[in-house]
Amino acid sequence: MSPRKAKRFNPDRDVREWNGAYRPYDILKEAFVALVAVGVLIVLLAVVFSSPDEPAVTLKSWSTSDPVDFAQTAVTELDGTSPLATYGPPYNSTPDVTQHIGFFEPAQWIGVHQPINTAQDFVIGPLRSLSNQPLVQRALDTYDSSTPTQQSAWTTAYEKAVANATDVHGRLQVPHAQSGPVGVIIGSLTTMAQNGGLDGTLLSQGQFYNTNYTKPLLFIANGSYLNNLAGAQHLQGTQWGMMNETGNYPGQAWLWLYTMWYQVPPMKTSTNADLEVWAIMMALTVVLILLPFIPVLRSIPRWSRVYRLIWRQHYRSLA
């Protein structure tokens, strides 16, 4: 058996044993001083800058502040044309909408796991829960028993009319249209939302306790109201919004790289931008973890010579 060949010294992988001087070092004292110093800094910044706490938007606050936007959104939930109704997995099975990179289409493979039928879950179901509302129930019966073609004709007519709707002191005023029962349905839903009933109904999932806000959040996110509020706070995607938070706070500054990819081509205009950005970030994370094994990349620190600054005193002592 031949002796194992000695590995050639690689300065980007290997080190020589330190045979130089040592100096006293109290690790626990250092940790204690650091703990106190950081504690003082945290208290100081908390006292001076506090923290943001903008109240959450509710279906009630949205429908009261902007009933026209609420009604315009609600009718798209009813006729299945809203962004959520056509979202695809994990909410529904709309074909050919999942993001993909070539054959790689993970959302499609995993499928629907949080099924949402926007018409039933956001409009018809909540209104069916209203008691002592015979007019609303008759409108729902009429809508449910009509053909899809008829339903589409009514919702299309209502969409055109609600585009010219007005907000009169918080009350929705929609011009007359051949919209059948849809006017009553959306008008009633708006009233229900303004009374606060829709928030509870969408949150309820047949049990008293609930902490899953998926449905009300998705409904609210479909409207323009939330988006406009976020835009005023510089939180939209085109404003590097994911890493920001309301007010003048640092937010998640560490997400700058993730957010940056959305601002540059081709992701900026790509319909598969989310999956592309995630793929890039996952690849970069793996590269960072495996950096010590990757030739060229692991040599950058030595080539950059930044280490000369870090170990300035050491090199000076050698000179």
Partner 1 sequence: MSLDITTERDASSSEESRQWTARVRNAAATAFPPDRLLPDRQPAYMASWIYVFGVLTVVSLAWVIITGCVLAVMGPSWWHVSGLGHFVNSLHLWSVEFFFFFMVIHLWGKFFMAAWRGNRKLTWATGVVSFVASIAAAFTGYLSQANFDSQWISTQAKDGINSTGAGAFWNVLNFGQMLMWHIVLLPIAVVIIAGLHVLMVRRRGIVPPFDIEPKDHGDTPSAAEPSE
Q: Tokens standing for 226?
A: 């939330």
Of 9-17, 62-70, 162-170, 181-189, the window that binds partner 1 (rule: CB under 8 A) is 9-17
Q: 100 to each of 84, 109, 114, 250, 265, how far by Cα in Å?
A: 18, 11, 20, 33, 17
CA-based nearest residue to 100, from 256, 225, 272: 272
Q: Which residue from 93, 110, 195, 204 is in contact with partner 1, where contact means CB under 8 A?
A: 110
Q: In what helix (H) or strand (E) does residue 167 lie, and over which residues does it extend?
A: strand 166-168
Q: Which residues between 111 and 150 bind partner 1 (CB under 8 A)?
A: 111-114
Q: Which residue from 3, 20, 134, 295 is in contact with partner 1, where contact means CB under 8 A?
A: 20
Of 14-22, 63-71, 137-145, 160-168, the window that binds partner 1 (rule: CB under 8 A) is 14-22
Q: Which residues between 34 and 53 bind partner 1 (CB under 8 A)?
A: 34-35, 38-39, 41-43, 45-47, 49-53
Q: Which residues between 271 and 300 bind partner 1 (CB under 8 A)?
A: 272, 274-275, 277-278, 285, 288-293, 298, 300
Q: For residue 159, which phi and psi values (nearest 5 degrees)? A: -60, -40
Q: For residues 297 and 181, what is the distance between their CA atoms, to the nearest angstrom? A: 66
Q: How many residues of this chain interact with partner 1, rule: CB under 8 A? A: 106
Q: Which is nearer to partner 1, 118 or 179 (CB)?
A: 118
Q: Which amino acid, residue 12?
A: D
Q: In what helix (H) or strand (E) does residue 206 lie, and over which residues does it extend?
A: none
Q: Which residues between 212 and 271 bind partner 1 (CB under 8 A)?
A: 212-214, 217-218, 220-221, 226, 229-230, 235, 237, 241-242, 245-246, 249-250, 252-255
Q: Which residue from 1, 2, 3, 18 is in contact with partner 1, where contact means CB under 8 A?
A: 18
Query: Cβ distance 109 to 154 under 8 Å?
Result: no
Q: Which residues between 64 and 93 bind partner 1 (CB under 8 A)?
A: 89-90
Q: Which residue from 63, 73, 82, 99 is in contact with partner 1, where contact means CB under 8 A?
A: 99
Q: Which amino acid, residue 26?
A: D
Q: Which is nearer to partner 1, 1 or 21 (CB)?
A: 21
Q: 135 to each of 140, 142, 145, 185, 231, how far by Cα in Å?
A: 9, 11, 15, 9, 39
Q: Tokens standing for 267?
A: 């992701």
Q: How far is the CB of 275 from partner 1 (least distance, A)?
A: 4
